[in-house]
Structure 1
Amino acid sequence: MHHWLRIAALPVLLAFGAASAAPAPAISYELAPVMQGDAIAALEVTIRLRADKSGITTLDWADGWAGEDKLGQWARDIRVEGGRSATPAPHGGRIVRSAPGAALVMRYRIVSAYDADPSVANSEQARPVVRPGWFYSVGEILYARPVGRDDAPARFAWKGPAGIGFASDTEHLTGLGGHRRTVGDILESIAIGGRDLSVTTILVKGAPVRVAHVGRFGFDVQAFDRLAGEVVAMERDFWRETGAGPFLITAIPLASMPGRLSYGGTGRSDAFATWIDRDAPLSGLGWLLAHEYFHSWNARQLGRFPETAEAEAYWLSEGFTDFYARRLMLRAGLWTPEKFAADWNEMLRAYAASSFRATGNAEAAAKFWTGGQDAEKIPYQRGSMLAALWDRQLQAKGLGDLDTVLRAQRDRLRGAKALPLLTDAFAAEMDRAGLDIRPDVDRYLARGEPLFLPEDAFGACARLVTADVPVFDRGWDNAATQKAGNVLTGVDPASNAYAAGLRDGMKILRRTAGEPGNSAVDFVVDVQDGATKRSVTFRPAGRKTLRTQQIVLDSARFAAEPERCKAALAG
């Protein structure tokens, strides 16, 4: 049972999860808005700490996060008090020389990476947003840290004026697993605030979950809050989680663009953030919430990433998370079997068309942040398919299922002082279950062989059909068209789009039908052609073919035994 309570967004410290105040920690972080009249112009950060025993204290940003390697570039007017000298540190911070244990204070402002509201064409999670009425950032950007002291205890305070709301997981008095909050927890956080900040507190089995958002969305935000509560309850039930601590979900709007729909997120230990297209329908957001919340366990409680080449483990951390977002949405009744199959089919088409389909995991991971959408998506696709493959193999051999394996892996590592590598821990847990995954890892990951799932991968009421289909081809240069403000560029005279009448220079106003990546469904686009607006219909099929798989539901069996078939489809 969970309940909803809408509360005012007050700029005060919320004492969730503790009955009494903790002893004052050594390192203190404060955050406040810098106001210019009624507008928020920047964010002021103050850090108070004792100098290192050596008398040399480095206060700096990390090497990088989410593809951004200059995390301190938005800091301005850095000042340090209490030291004899302060010289530049490698990533924009300061190396402070002082008496050992001296009281140090570091102050600076964080400015916005955006001159306007972030849009679906210009939004990066690693960049701070400071707008006149609201702000958002991840902790890795906001906060410098004393190098080598990420495990040191820390405290946080919001110092904003009345009327500027604030929400952050730094307000939780404990970190993941109930440990005392540390500098590392402050860094791995999110902060959102503004004049119109709305915060809803949901009690899920007695534990508070806050949902905070700013700005305008096209969907009912109260329905979004309720959906968030259902997703949190669903996944805590899956993991059989008891005694969960406070949690925060944030949402900021992205300015829309015709013909594009975008939303994304990033997971934290006790929070996750979402960036959502203002025009996004609520029906598409349950999966986003399910994916991001699943990261509270995968990979955080299942193992650690490698020190270098972190993306080599994304097939498990991201791909398995995609797999379970779909599975759990279906089990909870938040998706229909038809929606489940359609989402899988969209992913399978994208995998079949991917330029990285036959690329080994190490090579693809090296290009994750720079190789474009195909490089970014391949670990999600491969990981989802491997999860489906191994889940079916476990069940077919009477060895349980993937659910049981992941829960056992979490339980085995609970309270561990040092976590093993995520992928090693999973392979070992599969060994204990009785399934050796090493041949598949070598074949589909190390060597990058294309993966085809067995026909019965999704149970007796659905089958995977393998067929050669025309490649998806819009008929124009999509990247150049988007860059030109949706003015058609590079229309191919040999394409179906050209045959239907589309030409360079026409402006796409909106797409009213069709599925990106699906060459079997007609595209319908409204275009501005000089002074005339018209609708153009064409089949986005190219001349080449590719081999893909699609889930086909057995409609007769679903009609006869809907609940049994749904259970089989959901594993």
Structure 2
Amino acid sequence: MNRQALRGIRLLGLAIGLTLTARAETLTYTLSPQFDRGVIDVELEWQTRGRKRSAVFVTPSAGQIDDIAAMLTNMRTSGGSFRREGSLWGCNHREGATLRFSYTVSPRTRELEWDNTYAPVTTRNFFMGLGKTFLLTPSDEPGTPADFQVILRWKLPAGSDAACSWGVGRHVGDTVRAEDVRDSAYLAGELEIAQIQRDGRRVTVAMPDRFAFSAKSFAETAARIVNAEATFMMEREFPEIVITAVPVGDPLPAGSSRLSGTGLYHGFALWVAPQSELNDAVEHLFAHEMFHYWNGRLLQAAMPDREVYWFVEGFTDYYALRILFESGYWSAETYAKWINKHLREYAANPAKNATNGEIRDRYWTDRATYGEAPYQRGLMLGLRWRVMSRSQGKPDGLDDWFRKLIDRGRAGMKLTDREARSAGVETLGAWFSSEFDRYVTRADTVTVPTDALAPKLTGEERVVYEFEPGFDWAKSVQERRVVGLKAGSAAATAGLRDGDALSGWRLRSDPDEEVVLQVKRGGRSVEVRFYPRGRGRSAVVFVPAK
């Protein structure tokens, strides 16, 4: 992106931030990453109005960070009488006082790690953090406004750029809520920035130049997906989107991928292995997180929200995959691959019959089973209920039900099972009540009809296999030798040996794609081939129609 365009964005953002109403309260953040020391200095100036008591806090925990406040060091305050209670700083002050805070964020690492991507990190080249993991923001004290004029200033070396979920540039401003400040990504340093505008919707990508794709190509992909989802949802007004992408860990072998991401206020944060390609895994993750704009942000779940994750996460996945295909962005082969992957994993999940209450209690402690169950259940129900609605003479009934709930969410309704069930019976008919009770309330195993994706894809019962490489793949790649070979596995049967030196490999997390390993033994190269298959079971499999 050219510097003149960026300068225009910065000036526009700053002008917005400085256009204050008579009664507005202003939050001014100054962020100074210290790339040589691996820390970031933060200053906050809060211009209060009309009261004598205010408080700020930092989110107590997020992701794998148990005590965020412990990372905030060298805290200095002025403007009133302050008292700290845990992660909250309360203050008694004169009316209209300006409160000032300054501190240093000192994380435990200088590099992002896969088991702790939420941690704010200052590397030698960039800073990346989520607002909730390092920024003090106003607490909801009596008299505290909902919206603030927020100004953000970065102090950076020459040649550095910056972006956050609500503005691009070194100096930006906007009217946002305190929770939006927390629910944003903040990225600065040696960045590549690109911006695409499609059908009146603007998408910006900011990232270090560490991937096999460019910021421009990612922005073009994201703009197409955003446009497809907004068109499907008949959304006339859609906010500008800022996407951040940062590298985590070491580069992976060709054909392998590792990534995670989260939807944010007007944005999306992606963590991905260096040198990764812009593939269908990235497209799926982005489409899923962006669809949370409707299912999760406009329609919010009543607490405890994990009890309705079958809808919030499961139906988000259903629509993300479906829109990628029906918009023409994905081929039938790619769509079938992803649907079959979820069908296979659902069939193998020992927690697939967990009730919503059990998911609520064990979502984080058993992430690979109970945590995946609501995603899988909602996707299966989307496939099942759409074809059932068609058979009842309502080909668009499922979508009508979904959009009705979104519209009620815009009006302030919080999603519960009761609201979802009631709207379903009202929109789809009496048959929906027994379906809901069976599969959502009692958590019976969802059966997906073989004609669920007709006429574009056809389904049939087949034996499907769990993905099982037969050895510790991650550790083996790291040490470049076979580690943890499992006796009786397909890998062992094919002749792989514990301790074999790895000189080359092709392995994808798909039991139907052959693994090819090049190993060295006694000075010569040996090729080992096998399918990474574990236990087999019967399940529906979809293929493109002939």
Alignment of 1:96 onto 2:91: yes
Deviates more, 1:247-256 or 1:385-394: 247-256
Match among 270, 280, 286 for residue 274 of structure 1: 270
Equivalent residue number for residue 305 of structure 1:
301
Structure 1's 181 and 397: CA in aligned 2 closer, same or farther, altered over 3 A?
A: same
Asked whether the equivalents of residues 8 and 198 of structure 1 are also in contact (C-alpha less than 8 Å), the reply is: no
Match of 1:558 in 2: none
Contact map agreement 1:362 1:446 (CA 8 A) in 2: no
**Could you tell me how far 1:448 is from its partner in structure 2?**
3.0
Matched, 1:153 2:148: yes
**Paired amino acid for 2:126:** W
Match of 1:538 in 2: 530
1:129 aligns to what?
121
- Tell me, yes or no, if structure 1 residue 357 matches structure 2 residue 359: no
Q: 1:449 to 1:164 in 2, by over 3 A?
A: same
Structure 2 partner of 1:262: 258
1:166 CA displacement: 0.9
Q: Deviations over 1:159-213 (max 9, x none)?
A: 32443211112339xxxxxx94221221111111112x12222223234322212
Q: CA 1:240/1:325 → structure 2, altered by over 3 Å: closer, same or farther?
A: same
Q: Residue 82 of structure 1: which of 79, 84, 89 is its match?
A: 79
Post-superposition shift, 1:247?
A: 2.0
1:314: which partner in 2? 309
CA distance in 1, matches of 2:14, 2:102: 28
Q: 2:321 aligns with which of 307, 323, 326?
A: 326
User: After superposition, where does 1:141-540 map in structure 2 within 5 Å?
Assistant: 141-148=133-140, 149=144, 151-161=146-156, 162-171=158-167, 180-195=175-190, 197-254=191-248, 255-258=250-253, 260-284=256-280, 285-302=282-299, 304-308=300-304, 310-399=305-394, 400-414=396-410, 416=411, 418-421=412-415, 423-435=417-429, 437-477=432-472, 485=479, 487-508=481-502, 511-513=505-507, 515-518=508-511, 520-527=512-519, 533-540=525-532
CA shift at 1:143, angstroms? 1.6
Q: CA deviation at 1:403?
A: 2.4
Contact (CA 8 Å) 2:107, 2:120: kept in 1 or not?
yes
Report how far residue 550 of structure 1 moved: 0.9
Match for 2:59 among 51, 59, 62? Answer: 62
Is residue 62–residue 140 contact of structure 1 (8 Å, CA) maintained in 2? yes
Deviations 1:267-286 (CA, angstroms, capped at 9, x unpaired): 12311111222233223232
> What is the distance in 2 between the residues matched to 1:507 and 1:99?
70
What amino acid is aligned across from residue 15 of structure 1 in structure 2? G
Cα distance change of structure 1 residues 521 and 235 upon mapping to structure 2, 3 Å threshold:
closer
Quick one: structure 1 residues 316 and 511, their matched pair in 2 at CA, closer, same or farther if it must change by over 3 Å? Answer: farther
Three-state SS of the structure 2 residue aligned to 1:439 is helix
Alpha-carbon distance, 1:30 to partner? 0.7
Q: How far apart are residue 408 of structure 1 and its match?
A: 2.9
Matches of 1:315 and 1:83, distance apart in 2: 47
- 2:171 is matched with which residue? none
| Percent of pairs with identical residues | 25
Structure 1 residue 47: Cα displacement: 3.8
Long gaps (5+) in structure 2: 169-173
Question: Aligned in 2, Cα 1:221/1:184: closer, same or farther, shift over 3 Å?
Answer: closer
- Compared CA separation, residues 435 and 280, structure 1 to 2 (3 A): farther
Matched residues in 1 for 2:340 and 2:6: separation? Answer: 41
What amino acid is aligned across from residue 31 of structure 1 in structure 2? T
| Cα distance, 1:150 vs structure 2 | 7.2
Q: What are the residue-to-residue correspondences of 1:545-564 with 2, within 5 Å?
A: 545-555=536-546
Query: SS at 1:359's partner residue?
Result: coil
Q: CA RMSD in A?
A: 3.2
* In structure 2, C-alpha distance between the alignment counterparts of 1:280 and 1:295, rounded to whole Å: 25
Kindly state the Cα deviation for residue 386 of structure 1 after the two structures are TM-superposed: 1.0
d(CA) in 1 for partners of 2:104, 2:126: 16
2:345–2:466 contact (8 Å) kept in structure 1: no
**Distance change (3 Å), C-alpha of 1:21 and 1:96:** closer
Distance 1:311 1:35, change over 3 A: same
The amino acid of 1:48's aligned partner reads W
Aligned pair in 2 of structure 1 residues 461, 181: CA closer, same or farther (>3 Å)? closer
Pair 294,123 (structure 1): closer, same or farther in 2 beyond 3 Å: same
Aligned AA (1:261): S
- Matches of 1:283 and 1:273, distance apart in 2: 17
Distance change (3 Å), C-alpha of 1:52 and 1:488: farther
On the 8 A contact 2:35/2:126 being kept in 1, the answer is no
More divergent stretch after superposition (375-384 vs 528-537)? 528-537
- Report the TM-score, using the length of structure 1 for normalisation: 0.83
> What do residues 122-168 of structure 1 show as CA deviations (whole Å, max 9, x unaligned)?
25342112112111111111322232147242412223244321111
- C-alpha separation between the residues in 2 aligned to 1:218 and 1:315? 35
* Partner in structure 2 of residue 567 of structure 1: none
> Is there any run of 5+ residues in structure 1 with no aligned partner, and where?
173-178, 556-571
8 Å CA contact 2:490, 2:531 repeated in 1: yes
Q: Distance in 2 between matches of 1:160 and 1:263?
A: 30
Deviates more, 1:528-537 or 1:275-284: 528-537
d(CA) in 2 for partners of 1:6, 1:324: 38
Amino acid in the other structure paired with 1:537: R
- TM (norm. structure 2) is 0.87
Size of the aligned set, in residue pairs, is 531
Q: Is contact 2:195–2:216 with CA below 8 Å preserved after alignment? A: no
Deviation of residue 385 (structure 1)? 0.9
